[in-house]
A = this chain, B = another copy of it.
């Protein structure tokens, strides 16, 4: 496994793979990799000959009051995880943006609600960094986790709209044995917080298990089960457009963001249409 730190060297490596007819898969991350990330690396390996994992904590996607400075890091552990899961390259730039950087990529419609409502500028930062990373890494395909469902929808939209020619493959959400969606932020949770954090997946499972076709009732069912300190949102949205639904008449997703203590957690589950 190779560690590449310069964007130029990264592009050169990828162009060699293209020239040799090898398919390049890509998993962009902010590091502190857990089993969820590892599953994305495995998935990329199923779709590509060579997998590149990027590790870069992107300042553009953090708000002024967010946890950029205390975002956890574990370079040695991350490299070991990538190696173990068969990555060919870890791309770990010290600075990703060139001097005078001034371009912004956004998908305003899909970025408005849900996480976008509470994190102004976040998805613009995500779309911008992913566009630049696609330019540098030149992947044939890239994997994005379904946990960040709004992010996945935004990246799919941007990739099609800008004709970037990258196949976007969604990676299923991975949970701990107790049901908690894996997240680098879970480490901030104390024992009682972790217990209450389980109410997120419990609420979503109850919503999925119920036969209720009306979103208002379904949503109330979930809300009643939550034991969080602050709810950002609990919504049932169209799985394609992310528009809020009133009836479960098409493939949908229940999506949820909440704070337990000061830790912001997100979770989500697919819901089948109900007659």
Interface residues of chain A, those whose CB is within 8 Å of chain B, are 7, 11, 97-98, 100-110, 127, 131-132, 135-136, 138, 157-158, 160-165, 241
Q: Are B98 and A162 in contact (CB under 8 A)?
A: no
Copies of this protein in the complex: 2
Instruction: Please tell me which one of the listed residues B11, B100, B161 contacts residue A101 in the complex, with CB atoms under 8 A apart.
Output: B161
Q: Are A103 and B161 in contact (CB under 8 A)?
A: yes
Given contacts A105-B162, A135-B164, 12 further A-B contacts (CB under 8 A): A7-B163, A11-B163, A98-B160, A100-B157, A100-B241, A102-B110, A102-B157, A103-B107, A103-B127, A103-B158, A104-B105, A105-B105
| Across-interface contacts of A160 in B (CB, < 8 A) | 98
Q: In whole Å, how far is A91's beta carbon from the nearest beta carbon of chain B? A: 12
Instruction: Please tell me which one of the listed residues B100, B101, B162 contacts residue A132 in the complex, with CB atoms under 8 A apart.
Output: B162
A98 to B157, CA, bound (A): 10
| Across-interface contacts of A135 in B (CB, < 8 A) | 162-165
